[in-house]
Each structure stands twice: as structure tokens, then as C-alpha cells.
Structure 1
Amino acid sequence: MPGYIVVGGQWGDEGKGSVVAYLAMRDEPEIIARGGVGTNAGHSVFIGGKKYAVRQLPTAFMQRKARLLVGAGVLVDPEVFFHELEHLKDFNVSERVGIDYRCSIIEEKHRILDRTNGHLHGEIGTTGSGCGPANADRVMRRAKLARDVPELEPYLTDVAAEVNEALDEGKLVLVEGTQGFGLSLYYGTYPYVTSKDTTASAVASDVGIGPTRVDEVILVLRSFPTRVGAGPFPTEMEEAEAERLGLIEYGTVTGRKRRGGGFDFEFARYSARVNGATMVALTMLDLYDRGAFGVTDYDKLPAKAREFVEEVEERVGVPVGLIRTGPELEHTIDRREVI
């Protein structure tokens, strides 16, 4: 598997961070590149009982052997970037990270507009991180680029060149996306979406690789999806029911309460087709069946949990290769060798 992409298949918050972190530690990729929108998406990872949340850098920072890259299609907020370098200093991130010199910069004016614009922040429910206005400036060809920021100069690189050279040499490359399929500017619930496409094809473009260079597309789906902000959510349940099921969560970036809902098989199947998924990573199976918590052997899962996994495979049309059964990295069932 010289090159694979991990993307969210629902509304975001699918647990991509934990999947990427597991793959990074298990498969030891030499290059880990981040695509996606920018700092409006946060990924959380639990390591040794401690929670780490990142918005700018690749989620798989804990893989100390890997070069960490931020692709040209990703918006960069220098303030967030340097904060995360300090936050993750125990992992020597500053020595391993590279930002594409063509990344657009999020400036203070973008954050202000995002937080004060009635349509964006009031009606759509954006995070206020400045991503939409910054992407608008890129489209208008007036955005400041990473190469224009002196403080970033030590970290600048050509991510597309690095990633393609690594693939040419047969090295393992892991590319992680952000947000979820339902938030795609093109395929999501417009206008309640993010400011660009979020599919695997877009993420590949973000880091500068063509579709023939991708061997696996891993679609992350959670047993009970959640959604932050406004917009349609066909399987949304009443808040009391969500609370009973333990689905009351809060967004990593905004702290806003997430809306919980049931698994939407039709939507997941469409997401898998558009993303070209070759494998599903099913997360939070322990929410669907409490007896699944911490299980690492598929054959030891309760019958209810196994039946759900089999239903996902049948109705979504993609094999389930990874199953997350708890918050720690070791709470993972890896079935890739048997599917």
C-alpha cells in the first residue's frame, strides 16, 4: 500500500484522527500529508490517556519517524501553526514539518469577517476560523501565500514534489483529509457546507498527487453520526435520546454541542461511491453496543456488534477493514488482512 487516503464519510467528527493515528503507528508511513480545508476542522487523539487536539498539522504527529506535510490546498493560520508546534514539542514536530509554499494564509481580516458575517456565522454556522473568506480571496487571486510570510520560511517546501518522490521510491505515504463528505461544497447539503470539496479526489489534489497514485481510499464512518452547526440531518434524533445513548459531544474547534443521529446506510453508500472507497473504518462501535468496548478481536465482539458490521458491509458495499471500539489507539480491530 504505497499510498492511501483517509477521508470522512458523514458530517465530520467521524473519528478520522484516531484512525489516522492508528495507521501511522501500525504501518509506519514515511510521509504523512494533510489535505482538506484548514483550521476549521479539529482532530482529537488520545495517547496514554492524554488528549491532543490539532487543527493545522497532520493528526499523525505521534509517528516520530514520519515527515509531516501540509499540502498546497490547505489554508494556513500562522498563529495556529506556531501554537501547535509548541503544543506538540515533545514529539519534535518542528523538526519534521513542512508547509507547501503555495498554501493560502488565513489573516485576521478573514477571521473577523467569518465571525461577523450574518450569513456565514449566523445562518450557515461556520466555525469563525476564517476559512471561507480566505478561500474566497484565493479564488479572487489576492490571497497572501505562505511564501509571503517570513516567519514560515524555515518550514516551506514543495509538498507535491516530496510526496511524488516518496511514492516513486516505494515509500509509504498516508494522506489525511478533514471535514466529512456531507460538508463538501459540491456534494454536501449546500449551502450548509464548508468552502471547498472534501472528497478523496480533492484531498489528493490538495497534496499534489494524481488519482493513479492512490492505492487505497479509507472512508471513516461512525456508528452514530453527529453534525455541528446548521443544515439538514435526515437521521437526527431528539436530544434526550442522543443523551441517553451518550452522543452528546462538543466540537473540537468551536466547543458547540453536536447533533446526534442514527446511521444512514443510503447516505453512506453514496459517500462511498463518490469517494471511491476501497475500505471502511467503522468508529465508535462501542456506542452502538457497549459490550464492544475495548475489544480487539473481531471474533470476540458481541453478536449485535458483528451483525451491525456485516450490515454496513452489505449495504454500503465496501468491506470494513478497521473497527474502533474505544478512545485509545489500541482499541482497534484490524481486519485488513482478511478482507
Structure 2
Amino acid sequence: MACLVIVGGFYGDEGKGKIVAYLAKKECPLIAVRGGVGPNAGHTFSYEGKTHKVRMLPSAALNPSTRLMIGAGVLIDPKILSNEISEFSASNRTLIDSQSGVIEKIHIERDIEAEHLKNNIGTTGTGTGPANSDRALRSLKIAKDVPELIPYIGDVSGAVNEAIDNGEKVLVEGTQGTFLSLYHGGYPYVTSKDVTASGICSDIGIGPKRVDDVLIVFKAYVTRVGKGPLEGEISSDDAKARGWLEYGSVTGRQRRASPFDTGLARRAIKLNGATQIAITKLDILFPETAGITDFSKLPQNAKNFVEDVERESGLKVVLLGTGTELDQIIDRRA
């Protein structure tokens, strides 16, 4: 695995949390480090019947031997972070870059009260947009300015680069999805920064030559929360009938849905320089695949779907999610 970047291929909600948690359990990386925006992104994973949600820590939190880091480009909500550190007993293995930005109460208030963000864009109301605005103006507090964060402060870029130099395994976790990128998404219905693989690496402080592989995660269908373009969008009733009706892990808002978009996937692969593909929720598209962990045992229609994705993208689908549990995955990396 060496240094692996995991990034969302559509509009977020692709199941990156499950993929990161699975790889952390399987590969035991020395470091899992989170890039992206901040607590406006929730990652979900289930293990032994218990569902976990993280908005600050990397989704590798269940692996007690993995160090959990947050890059300088990520916004910190101290209260949310503190709760997650407590939940996963992670105080001795959490490291926050000293230059991570800090969300304060005023940012959340501005986010909720701003008519443009709330009514036109559909913000999560977590304060990330206003905080990133203040960061661009060079007026935002950073982690080293906040006493309650001092025990976790360090040089994340230095630690990650040193691990790579030593040949250690490093998982780099992105948030949101490619087409929520401030630069490459459907502007203005986007998040407040770039969230492609390049942006995630910048958040953490690693150069492009440090990365061995970029694993792009797609869901077997497309969903997005909030406003903005969604090619082939189906009605809520249709989504419910297909089992595609979902709700955002942070806001609880209903996700809009559409069938898998091959053209969008190809563009995401180019934008991220992806080298591998993971597809989640195959069991929702093909219920008869639930719990299968051997590709050869998939029904032919599911195999055809995967092979079509591979043919259209030119990349191998190395991981296939067939259920909510971490071990409900077909691993084709060998």
C-alpha cells in the first residue's frame, strides 16, 4: 500500500469511510491522515454490528495501532474532535497540525444566517465556509492558538513524510467528492475548497511524487445532498422503490439520486489521477450480492456492471462493498 490516497469520485457520500476503515483493519497502516474541508463531512463505517460516524478523525480510528492525524488544510471544530478522541480512546495517537484552522461559534452563526449559503447553496451550517473565508483573509485562528488543542499539536507534514521515507504504510483520507470541489465542481453548488486528490495532498503537506496510488471511490449509483446539477436524477419515489433513498450523515437531509454516471466517473478519474477504483453498495444495486466476498460468486448481472466500469474507465475495480460491515467486501487487489 505504501502511500495511498482515497478520494470520492462523485458528490460525496460514496462510502469512503467504510473503505478507509477496511484498509486500516486489513493493512494496519502506521498513519491515517485526513485532508479535506472539516466537520461538514461525515464518514460512516460499521464493525461487529455497531455503526460509527466520524467528522474529524480519520476513519481508521478503530485500529488502535494506527496514528490518527489531521492535516494543516483541515478545519477543526474542537468540541467535535474532543468527543471523537474520547469515543475511540485516541488521545495518545492523535496529532493535529499546528496550522489547522479552527471553527468558532461566530463561523457557525454566519453559516446559518447567511441567506446565500443557506438558501441558495444549501450549506451544512457547520461553519466551514465562513471559516475558510476568514482563512483566505488571514484572520482565522489556527490550532496552535487554542489551549484545548495544544496536547495534540504537532507537525503532521513532517510526520507523514518521515513515515513515507521509512517505507511505512500511510492512508490519506479525502472528504466530500470530486464534483463538490470549489474549482472542478458545479460552481457555485460546491464546498469551500478543492477536494480532489491534489488538494487533499496539499492539505496534508505531501508532494505528488510521494503518492503511490490514488484509490477513487464510487457508489454503485450517484447521490448528492443539497442543490446543484445531477444528471439523470430520479424522483424520491423511484429512489425509495430502488432502495436508493438515503440521508446525509451530517445534516440528515435527503440525498438526491441518479444511476451510475460513466462519463462523470471518467472525468473524476482524470481530475484525480486515479489508479484504482472501489465501488460501494453493490448490494443495494444488486440485492442478491449482499455479503458476498468472492467475485466469482457474484451473479452475472453484477459482474457485467463491474466489468463495464472497468472497460469504460481503463482501471481495475479492486474493492467492492457488498454490505455495511467492514468485512463485507470483495478484495481484488491480489
From 97, 101, 104, give the equivalent of 1:107: 104
Does the CA contact (< 8 Å) of 1:73 and 1:205 recur in 2? yes
Letter in 1 for 2:208: P
Q: Is 1:171 the equivalent of 2:188?
A: no
Percent identical among aligned pairs is 51
Does the CA contact (< 8 Å) of 1:236 and 1:261 recur in 2? yes
Per-residue CA deviation, residues 260-306 of structure 1 (Å, 9 max, x unaligned), is 11000000000001100000001111111111110000000000000
Q: Is 1:24 the equivalent of 2:24?
A: yes
Deviation at 1:184, TM superposition (A): 0.4
Q: Which residue of 1 aligns with 2:141?
A: 144
Letter in 2 for 1:213: R
CA distance in 2, matches of 1:227, 1:274: 19
From 314, 317, 327, give the equivalent of 1:317: 314
Q: Which residue of 2 aligns with 1:85?
A: 85
Deviation at 1:238, TM superposition (A): 1.1
Q: Which residue of 1 aligns with 2:69?
A: 69
CA distance in 2, matches of 1:148, 1:103: 10
Letter in 1 for 2:307: E
CA distance in 1, matches of 2:155, 2:148: 17
What SS does the corresponding residue of 1:174 show, helix, strand or coil? strand
Q: Which residue of 1 aligns with 2:40?
A: 40
Q: Which residue of 2 aligns with 1:217?
A: 214
The more displaced of 112-121 and 313-322 is 313-322
Letter in 1 for 2:35: G
Q: Which residue of 1 aligns with 2:205?
A: 208
Q: Which residue of 2 aligns with 1:132?
A: 129
Letter in 2 for 1:292: T
The more displaced of 310-319 and 17-26 is 310-319
Q: Which residue of 2 aligns with 1:156?
A: 153
Letter in 2 for 1:13: D
Q: Which residue of 2 aligns with 1:296?
A: 293
Letter in 2 for 1:282: I
Letter in 2 for 1:226: T
Does the CA contact (< 8 Å) of 1:272 and 1:318 recur in 2? no
CA distance in 1, matches of 2:202, 2:144: 20
CA distance in 2, matches of 1:164, 1:100: 13
CA distance in 2, matches of 1:56, 1:249: 22
Letter in 1 for 2:308: E
Per-residue CA deviation, residues 303-337 of structure 1 (Å, 9 max, x unaligned), is 00000000011112221011000000010001011
Deviation at 1:224, TM superposition (A): 1.1
CA distance in 1, matches of 2:226, 2:207: 33
TM-score, normalization by structure 1 = 0.98
**Where do 4+ consecutive residues of structure 1 move more than 6 Å?**
none
Letter in 2 for 1:17: G
What SS does the corresponding residue of 1:311 show, helix, strand or coil? helix
What SS does the corresponding residue of 1:144 show, helix, strand or coil? coil
Q: Is 1:60 the equivalent of 2:60?
A: yes
Deviation at 1:147, TM superposition (A): 0.3
Q: Which residue of 2 aligns with 1:326?
A: 323
Q: Which residue of 2 aligns with 1:229?
A: 226
Deviation at 1:239, TM superposition (A): 1.1
Letter in 2 for 1:68: L
CA distance in 1, matches of 2:160, 2:322: 32
Q: Which residue of 1 aligns with 2:13?
A: 13
What SS does the corresponding residue of 1:280 show, helix, strand or coil? strand
Per-residue CA deviation, residues 79-110 of structure 1 (Å, 9 max, x unaligned), is 1111212232xxx2111101000001001000
Per-residue CA deviation, residues 166-195 of structure 1 (Å, 9 max, x unaligned), is 011110000000000110000001000000
Q: Which residue of 1 aligns with 2:95?
A: 98
Task: Show structure 1 runs of 5+ residues with no match.
Answer: none
CA distance in 2, matches of 1:77, 1:240: 36
Deviation at 1:242, TM superposition (A): 0.2
RMSD: 0.7
TM-score, normalization by structure 2 = 0.99
CA distance in 1, matches of 2:232, 2:169: 37
Letter in 1 for 2:233: E
Count of residues in correspondence between the two structures: 334
CA distance in 2, matches of 1:225, 1:330: 23
CA distance in 2, matches of 1:271, 1:212: 20
CA distance in 1, matches of 2:147, 2:64: 27
